[in-house]
Chains A and B, each alone.
Chain A
Amino acid sequence: MTDRRLWRLDSPDPFRLSRISDEVEALLESGGLSERGRFTARLVTEELVLNAFHHGGAHAVTVELEARDRLVLEDDGSPFDPSAAAVDEPATGERGRGLLLVRGFAKALRYARRGERNRTEVVLPDGDRHQ
């Protein structure tokens, strides 16, 4: 896939977020990524974007489709590593359900703090089995 796409959100507008996920999913489908990979892309976009705005105090978040199986999310919120943050038990607590899902579905997560920004690279699964 040769498309390289970047979306920017300035608020946690759920309808715009849904539209962006639609566009990301369409590009991934045209690139031949599996259903599970596309589901993961939508999941990661939803969870990490909302997390950055609601918990990280971000004012802007970007979502970039960097390769056929790779998303990069960047935000200007407080430092936050989604691969390492503590979470509650999902049945009894409220903290971190989304992070558990991201960690459970992504093939790999790579976090870096670059200047005043969080950068999370997500490798999407390309099979239909749980990895």
Chain B
Amino acid sequence: MAELELVEANDAFTHVALRGRLDAAGTGAVDLGLTSHTVARRKPAIVDLTEVPFIASLGIGMLVQVARSLASHGAQAVAVAPHEPVRGVLRLMQLGELLPVVATREEALRALGLE
């Protein structure tokens, strides 16, 4: 079952890490937590998928919803996804500026203009 860890939450950004498969069951397990840790804070967010071995459309929908909600408050979301095939799924979705996909936390911070 998927899990969520709040890695860092400060005045500048939020960093959350998801672990496990983001299939229908896994997405349901972390959806509320992800929203409450990111959207509710209205800060730029790093969503780390390094330890997510699988993602399907419900998981993508959850990430898009978080990114859209943050964007409506002027905050950017960035996904960290260094490994295939999850990176390939995100690439195929062509989410563009709504949810940039990078390989490391450092790249994510740069994408958020925080380094």
Contacts and interface: CB of A to CB of B under 8 A. Distances in A.
A97 to B, nearest CB: 4
A103 to B, nearest CB: 9
Interface of A: 12, 14-15, 17-18, 21, 35-36, 39, 42-43, 46-47, 50, 89-91, 94, 97-98, 100-101, 104-105, 128, 130
B25 A14 contact: yes
Task: Decide if the interface of chain A is mainly helix, strand, loop or mixed.
Answer: helix
A80 B51 CA distance: 34
B57 A35 contact: no
B24 A50 contact: yes
4 shortest interchain CB distances as A-B pairs: A14-B24, A98-B57, A14-B25, A97-B57
A21 B84 contact: no
B57 A130 contact: no
Contacts of A98: 56-57
A97 B60 contact: yes
Interface in B19-74: 21, 23-26, 28, 54, 56-58, 60-61, 64
A91 B57 contact: no
Contact of A18 (B25, B84, B94): B25
B23 A90 contact: no
B95 interface: yes
Contact of A15 (B25, B64, B98): B25
Given A46-B56, A91-B64, A14 B23 contact: yes
A97 B27 CA distance: 15
A18 B92 CA distance: 23
A35 to B, nearest CB: 7
Given A43-B89, A97-B93, 16 more contacts: A12-B24, A17-B24, A35-B85, A36-B84, A39-B85, A42-B56, A46-B56, A90-B64, A90-B95, A91-B93, A91-B99, A94-B61, A97-B60, A101-B60, A105-B92, A128-B84
